[in-house]
Amino acid sequence: MSQGKIFLVGFGPGAEAHMSVRALEAIKESDVVIGYSTYIRLVKNLLDGKEVVRKGMTEEIDRCVQAYEHAQKGKTVALISSGDIGVYGMAGPTYEVLLQTGWTPDSEIKVEIVPGTTALSAAASLVGAPLTHDFCSISLSDLLTPWPVIAKRLDAAGRSDFVVALYNPKSGRRTRQIEEAQRILLQYRRPDTPVAIVKSAYRNLQDIQRVRLDEMKDCNIGMLTTVLIGNSSTFMQEGLMITPRGYRNKYDGITGQTLEGEKRGRSLSMGLEGWKTCIRQYLREHEAQSLSRVAAHFDCPIGEVLSAMAEVDADDAAGECLSARLPDDRIPEIFSEIKQWGALRAVIRNEAGAVSELFINAGDLSFSTAQLKIENEHFHLHVDLSTLMSGWLLRRADRLRGIYFLNSRGETIFNLSLLRTQGEFDSQGLQQFDRLWRELDYREQEDRAVNE
């Protein structure tokens, strides 16, 4: 008996013209074709002389089991799916079923995945070029995925400015998911963000709507629809939805010349190597701006601004700002030293964005590994330090001496700065701070070593 084989075939959005040559061959080579009844209908011209197994939408695992059973009998089986079979398709469940039977890639039954054009690229091709920058796909189906997981992904996509492709956006029973998706994304996107709603791409009933994000939930959306939601730079012009690649960050749109400070074939000045230099330049030009405003300007956590300040050199200063990272293993010891710092301003941020600003005496502070407590006769404040990741000293000319404690995302948990009265820092606090600074500021240490 010949060895069985399972083809996992993605046949694209629907029309035969968009099916790959390998998908056509795989179906041709197969003795048995298994699929959801609509899919079988879409490839009916290719099924002459074949055993055809039509299954309902909910019988997915059954489709995999049947494919395996036919392959065990030595047959070549095509398990077919629209789009790409690995994208919200049958490839995953089939491998899971096979592995449960003890099958391995070295077993007699061979498995070949035939990739296909997935719905998001089919839909995109019909409306312009909405996916030419970073994008993600999110399925709104909560049949197998808890809603909080889907909501978290929508939130992250919104926050990170991804173009978003929504699969399974709506069905007869699932109608509120698209409303919730709109609500979550509108927290981050303009109401007029372009949206393309593509129904039955490359099939008979193809329908395309171009709308704004705030109109999306009231549109005609169904089971066979893919929704493409633009990012902050996507635009709609002449009916085309376009997400720029970013050429305008580097080249003049008319002459094609590279913009000042940029180099052809090299990372942008705001690329990985260069962007901290941009932070330092910005700090030189905005001496009075608060650290949180600088971080907001670069849309980055404060930790990145502090690290840019720590990397200054003579030709690339950060204005009057300097920072030095505390060695992680010294943080507990530094906590106890801070208690000698005298009058302080403490700023504490909670996860929800509330900011408490307190004028305290350093003696009001007590630290344990998991908590900072600020307690005096007026208030008791407890700050969770379980996410504490790094500590930084900050100097800003003779105006500011402070210490920042950040979480793993580089966001401030709390910071303390020496208070000034009539322009003067508390002398004891200043002495303590300067001593610590001299120990930690490696540039000064190096300078001293060279001079000694």
Tell whether residue 198 is a contact of ligand SAM (CB under 6 A): yes
For residue 364, what are the contacts with CB-CB under 8 A and spacing of at least 6? 374, 375, 376
200 touches ligand SAM (CB under 6 A): yes
Q: Which of 83, 230, 342, 391 binds ligand SAM (CB under 6 A)?
A: 83
Structure tokens at 446: 């190096």
Task: Report the alpha-carbon distance of residue 300 to residue 390 in Å, rounded.
Answer: 16
Q: Which two tokens stand for residue 275?
A: 């962007």
Tokens matching residue 412: 């401030």
Write each residue from 105 to 144 as x if it is in contact with ligand SAM (CB under 6 A), else as -, in one continuous string.
Answer: -------------xx--xx---------------------
Contact stretch for ligand SAM (CB under 6 A) within 34-42, 82-90, 296-304, 443-451: 82-90
* SS3 category, 75: coil
Interacting residue with ligand SAM among 111, 224, 236, 291 (CB under 6 A): 224
Q: On the CB side of 89, how many CA atoms lie within 13 Å of its CA?
A: 25
The partner residues of 137 in beta bridges, in order of sequence, read 165
Give the tokens for residue 286. 């905005």
Smallest gap from residue 404 Cβ to ligand SAM (A): 45
The helix/strand/coil state of 211 is strand
Structure token pair of residue 389: 């990741």
**Amino acid identity for residue 304 in this structure:** E
- CA 184 from chain centre, in angstroms, equals 15
Residue with Cβ nearer ligand SAM (36 or 425): 36
Q: Which residue has the tokens 């929508």?
A: 154
> Closest separation between CB of residue 13 and ligand SAM, Å?
4
223 belongs to the binding site for ligand SAM (CB under 6 A): yes
The one among 137, 177, 225, 269 contacting ligand SAM by CB under 6 A: 225
**7, 27, 43, 81: which one contacts ligand SAM (CB under 6 A)?**
81
Nearest alpha carbon to residue 141 among 106, 181, 114, 104? 181
Residue nearest ligand SAM (C-beta atom): 83
Q: Which two tokens stand for residue 45?
A: 């011209």
C-beta closer to ligand SAM: residue 85 or 308:
85
Q: 90 and 79 in contact (C-beta within 8 Å)?
A: yes
Closer of 116 and 391 to ligand SAM (Cβ): 116
121/269 with CB nearer ligand SAM: 121
Q: Report in angstroms how near the CB of residue 202 gets to ligand SAM at its nearest.
A: 6
- Quote the least distance from Cβ 298 to ligand SAM, whole Å: 36
Per-residue tokens: 173: 């029973």
Q: For ligand SAM, which is the closer residue by CB, 8 or 365?
A: 8
Q: Which two tokens mark 184?
A: 């979550």
Task: List the interface residues with ligand SAM, window 162-191 (CB under 6 A).
Answer: 167-168
**Binding footprint of ligand SAM on the chain (CB under 6 A):** 13-14, 81-84, 87-89, 118-119, 122-123, 167-168, 198, 200-203, 223-226
